[in-house]
Structure 1
Amino acid sequence: MDDPSPGSGARTPARAWLPTDAPSSDLSGEWLFRWHPSLSKAPDHEEWPDDEGEWDRLPVPSHWVLAGGGRYGRPIYTTRRFPIPVTGRVPRDDNPTGDHRRFVDLDESWAAHERVLLRFDGVESRYRVWLNGAEIGIGAGSRLVQEFDVTSAVRPGRNVLDVRVHQWSSSTWVEAQDQWWLPGIFREVTLLARPAGALDDVWLDAGFDHQAGAGTITPWLTAPAAAYPVRLRVEALGLDVCWEQPEDVAPIAAGQVKPWTAETPVLYEATVASAGETVRVRLGFRTVRIRGDRFEVNGRPIAFRGVNRHEIHRDRGRVFDVEDARRDLVRMKRHNINAIRTSHYPPHPRLLDLADELGFWVIDECDLESQGFEDVGWADNPSDDPAWSAAYLDRIRRTVERDKNHPSVVMWSLGNESYTGRNLAANAAWVRGRDPGRPVHYEGDLLGEYTDVHSRMYATPDELRRLGEDDAISHDLPPGAQARVRSMPVILCEYAHAMGNGPGALHVYEELFDRYPRLHGGFVWEWRDHALTATADDGTTFLAYGGDFGERVTDGVFVIDGLLGADEVPSPGLAEFARVIQPVRARLGEDGLVVENRQDFADLSAFTLRWRLERDGELWKDGLLEVRAAARSAARVPWPVDPPAADGAEWWLTVTAQLAAPAPWAPAGHEVARSQVPVRPRGPERAPVASAQVTRATPSRDRDVVRVGTAQLDARTGRLLRIGGFEMLDGPALELYRAPTDNDRGSSVVDYLLSGAAEPRQPAPTPSAAQRWRKAGLTRLAPDVLAVDVGADAVEVHTRVGVIGAAHHVDIRFRWWAEGDEVVLRTSVEPSLGWTGTSWPRIGLRLTLPDDVRTAEWFGLGPGETYPDSREAATVGKWRSDVDGLATPYLIPQENGHRSELRWLELARADGRVLRVETRAMADGTLPGFALQRWTPAELEAAAHRHELPPSDRTHLHVDAYHHGLGSRSCIVDVLPEHQLLPRSASWQLRLSIR
Structure 2
Amino acid sequence: MTLEKVWENPQILQINREKPRAYYIPCHDESAKSRNRQLSDHFRLLNGEWKFSYFSNVNDINDKHVSNEVDVSGWDRLLVPSCWQTNGYDQMQYVNVRYPFPFDPPHVPNENPAGVYVKDIQISDLSERKEQFIVFEGVSACFYLYVNGQFAGYSQGSRMPAEFNITPYLKDGKNRLTAVVLKWGDGSYLEDQDMWRYTGIFRDVYLLSRDAIRIEDVFNRAVLSEDLTQGELQIDLTAKGSCHAEVLLKDERGETVGHIAREINGTESLSMTVDSPALWNAENPVLYDLYVKSGEEVLHFHIGFRRITVEDGVFKINNEAVKLKGVNRHDSHPKLGHTIPLNHMKKDLLLMKKHNMNTVRASHYPNDPRFLTLCDQLGFYVIDEADLECHGAGEAGDIHWLSKQEDWQAAFLDRMERLVERDKNNPSVIIWSLGNEAGYGINHIKMAEWAKKRDATRLTHYESAAEGYKGHENTEALDMESRMYPTLQYVEEYAKNESKTKPMFLCEYSHAMGNGPGDAADYWELIYKYPKLMGGCIWEWNDHGISRTDDRGNVSYAYGGDFGETIHDGNFCIDGLVKPDRTPSTGLKEIKAVYKPVRFKMKSAEEGLVEVTNLFDFTNLSDYEIQWMVERDGEVVQQNVIYDLDLHPKASKVIQIPYDVPEASVSSYYLTVSLLQKKTEPWAEKGHEIGFEQFKLPVKKQIPEKRAGKHSLKTEKNGSKLVISGLDFTYVFNLEAGQFEKVSLNDYECLAGIPSFTAWRAPIDNDAPILQEWKKHGFDKLNMHTYKAEVVQEDESLIELQVHFSLSAFSRFPVVKGTANWKVHSSGAIAVTCQADVNGEVPYLPRFGLEIPMPKGNDEVEYFGNGPHESYMDMKSSVRKGRYLTTVQGMHEQYIYPQENGSRYGTDWAIVSNELGMGMKFSSNEGFSFNVSRYALAELTATSHDHQLQEDNSRTWVYIDYKMSGVGSGACGPALAENYQLNEKSISFSFEMEPVFKEH
Q: TM-score with structure 2 length normalisation?
A: 0.92
**Are residue 726 (structure 1) and residue 743 (structure 2) matched?**
no
| Mean Cα deviation higher: 942-951 or 808-817 | 808-817
Superposition pairs of residues 817-832 of structure 1, within 5 angstroms: 817-831=823-837
Alignment equivalent of 1:450, drawn from 477, 488, 494:
477
Shift of 1:5: 3.1
Give yes or no for contact 2:860–2:885 (8 Å, CA) kept in 1.
yes
CA 119–877 in structure 1, closer or farther in 2 if over 3 Å, else same: same
**Are residue 554 (structure 1) and residue 568 (structure 2) matched?**
yes
String of CA shifts for 1:46-77, please: whole Å, max 9, x gaps: 57672223311111101111123xxx212211
Superposition pairs of residues 550-629 of structure 1, within 5 angstroms: 550-590=564-604, 592-625=609-642, 626-629=644-647
Amino acid at match of 1:558: F
What residue in structure 1 maps to residue 518 of structure 2? 504
Shift of 1:686: 4.5
What residue in structure 2 maps to residue 652 of structure 1? 670
String of CA shifts for 1:67-122, please: whole Å, max 9, x gaps: 23xxx212211111100000225335321111111111112x23344321111100
Superposition pairs of residues 99-138 of structure 1, within 5 angstroms: 99-107=116-124, 109-138=125-154
User: What's the secondary structure of 2:694's corresponding residue?
Assistant: strand
Shift of 1:685: 4.9
Give yes or no for contact 2:10–2:106 (8 Å, CA) kept in 1.
no
What residue in structure 2 maps to residue 774 of structure 1? 775
For 2:194 and 2:550, the matched residues in 1 are separated by 25
Give yes or no for contact 2:390–2:399 (8 Å, CA) kept in 1.
no
For 2:66 and 2:382, the matched residues in 1 are separated by 46
CA 711–835 in structure 1, closer or farther in 2 if over 3 Å, else same: farther
User: What's the secondary structure of 1:579's corresponding residue?
Assistant: helix
Q: Would you say how many aligned residue pairs link Structure 1 and Structure 2? A: 948
Amino acid at match of 1:545: Y
For 1:152 and 1:728, the matched residues in 2 are separated by 83
What residue in structure 1 maps to residue 384 of structure 2? 364
What residue in structure 2 maps to residue 859 of structure 1? 864
For 1:225 and 1:139, the matched residues in 2 are separated by 26
| Mean Cα deviation higher: 669-678 or 205-214 | 205-214
String of CA shifts for 1:785-837, please: whole Å, max 9, x gaps: 334434413142523333211232433444333435432231314236x4414
What residue in structure 1 maps to residue 987 of structure 2? 985
Amino acid at match of 1:61: P
Give yes or no for contact 1:103–1:160 (8 Å, CA) kept in 2.
yes
Shift of 1:708: 4.7
User: What's the secondary structure of 1:903's corresponding residue?
Assistant: strand
| Mean Cα deviation higher: 366-375 or 810-819 | 810-819
Alignment equivalent of 1:186, drawn from 194, 198, 202:
202
Alignment equivalent of 1:24, drawn from 28, 36, 43:
43
String of CA shifts for 1:682-701, please: whole Å, max 9, x gaps: 725556445xx989735444
Superposition pairs of residues 830-979 of structure 1, within 5 angstroms: 830-831=836-837, 834-921=839-926, 927-953=927-953, 954-979=955-980
CA 142–835 in structure 1, closer or farther in 2 if over 3 Å, else same: same
For 1:844 and 1:358, the matched residues in 2 are separated by 48
**Are residue 147 (structure 1) and residue 163 (structure 2) matched?**
yes
What residue in structure 2 maps to residue 252 of structure 1? 272
Give yes or no for contact 2:406–2:443 (8 Å, CA) kept in 1.
yes
User: What's the secondary structure of 1:920's corresponding residue?
Assistant: strand
| Mean Cα deviation higher: 519-528 or 370-379 | 370-379
User: What's the secondary structure of 1:860's corresponding residue?
Assistant: strand
For 1:636 and 1:910, the matched residues in 2 are separated by 46
CA 814–380 in structure 1, closer or farther in 2 if over 3 Å, else same: closer
CA 45–352 in structure 1, closer or farther in 2 if over 3 Å, else same: farther
Give yes or no for contact 2:101–2:109 (8 Å, CA) kept in 1.
no
Shift of 1:838: 0.8
Give yes or no for contact 2:106–2:189 (8 Å, CA) kept in 1.
no
User: What's the secondary structure of 2:771's corresponding residue?
Assistant: helix
User: What's the secondary structure of 2:521's corresponding residue?
Assistant: helix
Gaps (5+ residues) in structure 1?
472-482, 746-767, 922-926
CA 681–977 in structure 1, closer or farther in 2 if over 3 Å, else same: farther
Give yes or no for contact 1:10–1:150 (8 Å, CA) kept in 2.
no
What residue in structure 2 maps to residue 707 of structure 1? 724
String of CA shifts for 1:212-244, please: whole Å, max 9, x gaps: 534321111111354213232416342241322
User: What's the secondary structure of 2:654's corresponding residue?
Assistant: strand
For 2:750 and 2:466, the matched residues in 1 are separated by 62
Amino acid at match of 2:441: G
String of CA shifts for 1:753-779, please: whole Å, max 9, x gaps: xxxxxxxxxxxxxxx321111111112
For 1:548 and 1:659, the matched residues in 2 are separated by 44
CA 644–172 in structure 1, closer or farther in 2 if over 3 Å, else same: same
CA 867–380 in structure 1, closer or farther in 2 if over 3 Å, else same: closer
Shift of 1:439: 0.8
For 1:706 and 1:572, the matched residues in 2 are separated by 44
What residue in structure 2 maps to residue 488 of structure 1? 502
CA 914–132 in structure 1, closer or farther in 2 if over 3 Å, else same: same
CA 44–838 in structure 1, closer or farther in 2 if over 3 Å, else same: farther
What residue in structure 2 maps to residue 310 of structure 1? 330
For 2:12 and 2:371, the matched residues in 1 are separated by 25
CA 45–367 in structure 1, closer or farther in 2 if over 3 Å, else same: farther
What residue in structure 1 maps to residue 33 of structure 2? none
What residue in structure 2 maps to residue 760 of structure 1? none
Q: CA RMSD, aligned part only? A: 2.1
CA 239–937 in structure 1, closer or farther in 2 if over 3 Å, else same: same
Amino acid at match of 2:679: A
Shift of 1:948: 1.5
Give yes or no for contact 1:928–1:961 (8 Å, CA) kept in 2.
yes
For 1:358 and 1:876, the matched residues in 2 are separated by 34
What residue in structure 2 maps to residue 661 of structure 1? 679
What residue in structure 1 maps to residue 319 of structure 2? 299
For 1:380 and 1:735, the matched residues in 2 are separated by 47
**Are residue 462 (structure 1) and residue 489 (structure 2) matched?**
yes
Give yes or no for contact 2:920–2:993 (8 Å, CA) kept in 1.
no
Amino acid at match of 1:43: N
For 2:420 and 2:629, the matched residues in 1 are separated by 49
For 2:13 and 2:870, the matched residues in 1 are separated by 51
Give yes or no for contact 2:663–2:700 (8 Å, CA) kept in 1.
no
For 1:715 and 1:836, the matched residues in 2 are separated by 31
For 1:496 and 1:668, the matched residues in 2 are separated by 31
Give yes or no for contact 1:723–1:994 (8 Å, CA) kept in 2.
no
User: What's the secondary structure of 2:360's corresponding residue?
Assistant: strand
Give yes or no for contact 2:858–2:914 (8 Å, CA) kept in 1.
yes
For 1:673 and 1:379, the matched residues in 2 are separated by 42
For 1:246 and 1:488, the matched residues in 2 are separated by 41
Give yes or no for contact 2:434–2:460 (8 Å, CA) kept in 1.
yes
User: What's the secondary structure of 2:986's corresponding residue?
Assistant: coil
Give yes or no for contact 2:26–2:43 (8 Å, CA) kept in 1.
no
**Are residue 82 (structure 1) and residue 87 (structure 2) matched?**
no
For 1:728 and 1:679, the matched residues in 2 are separated by 37
For 1:231 and 1:802, the matched residues in 2 are separated by 79
Give yes or no for contact 1:698–1:794 (8 Å, CA) kept in 2.
no
CA 329–538 in structure 1, closer or farther in 2 if over 3 Å, else same: closer
User: What's the secondary structure of 1:394's corresponding residue?
Assistant: helix
Amino acid at match of 1:564: V
**Are residue 807 (structure 1) and residue 813 (structure 2) matched?**
yes
What residue in structure 2 maps to residue 749 of structure 1? none
User: What's the secondary structure of 1:928's corresponding residue?
Assistant: strand
Q: TM-score with structure 1 length normalisation?
A: 0.92
